[in-house]
Structure 1
């Protein structure tokens, strides 16, 4: 899962080599989180693809904002005869996705296309039977325009699946950490305020938006995620990476005591590191809207 457009650098006057190094570091870090997301939530992604109300197995699929391929390969597993065009703005993500396709012997069935979906001119994506957008629509500058583009792109009777997580997952018990109980909830409150200002479409109800774009809503489902991570190294790494990314948006909003407690959780050498906890879980919700283009 990833957004399909790049963010402007917060340091526009930084030396170009430094900026490229920073961008590559951020992309690599995001790619690792996306891969962990795919591993930890694989069963729930499969449940979404199994639920899709397709009228017949699709032959042509487009994955918008494909990231490193969580949805792409779940769709390949669900529809083994399909050809998938995977679209993302990140060359690094697409390279990783292409390596996975080769490792699976599926390189002939996956076409990686680099594109900024906020651009008015899209590359030729064919006439797909199914378009999938997971955790990408809320990042669009003008999602209503993108919905209309997808509507016109689809084959008559084709299906558009919009999948969104309910914000960042939660990992810690409510009374954790011991020195600052409730820390994670306070981080989420600060994060929600930040994203309400900077990512205004996160948490949107996509049903009315889809019908306004000309689709017929064919179903909506919310899947509750609650995964015990006490014995999972992947869940620990997922929690660490996710909380590190959250820190970027909440650091200025947290009181010093909370920020210090969060930093202890993120310090892999600390006895308080999130990696040393045996009470982690992954708790979130994933909602999917299935909308059909009328014949």
Structure 2
């Protein structure tokens, strides 16, 4: 089936779901949406991000492809309902940052092969449809996990949609994905929470801390605005990997503390230089991604 003829249903019209809809608008036939928050639905309708909204059951019956863009604890029950019935849709995909437990739970469902477990490395601490962007996924990496469990048709449809959005797809094992996310996504989020609390507790005054806080505090605590409703399910589903990441982080922080206590400038400098190199490698990778994006033609 040609992508331009698809009807896409987006369940969950927060920043990610609304950005999916906005990015695909005009590139597929119809976008239908559903969100438990009527304000998100209303915004998306008024902004022209979706063509129509309806009940969860009805949009799934209408759609050729269903995108589940909810918090991760809602992915399994929604996907289970869809994959327990035959017929439409042709493919279902999620955008969550935990994969292993979801793939295990869905493994026995009759239509499991329609489900493509995907995760775009995009988004921000800002929430809601009002923060959506049609270009959010442009030049971003999207992981598709355990593609061997999916039908060829489902994988082709979902990779085709990500290509329309300007993203680049890589295939990965779900266990490796969750280990990676614990280190590069989930740990930074939890550190941001901890740093925000520690900064105020150490001074003892919220007002004084906020008056003194500047760019460093801003950069390091930006993620702390993300809601508990989004992050508690992620922590629960990726608990063991996150705990291992915390142990490694504490180990490195202890090395820094020990070097400071012992006036060990050589070790402290070595740790800083090592961190400088890692940050530089990240910046180089981001720049390379931009260059690569400029060389590829994004489908309209």
Normalised to the residue count of structure 1, the TM-score between the two structures is: 0.27
Larger radius of gyration: 2
Structure 1 or 2: more strand by fraction:
1
Normalised to the residue count of structure 2, the TM-score between the two structures is: 0.26
Higher relative contact order (CA 8 A, sep 6+): 1
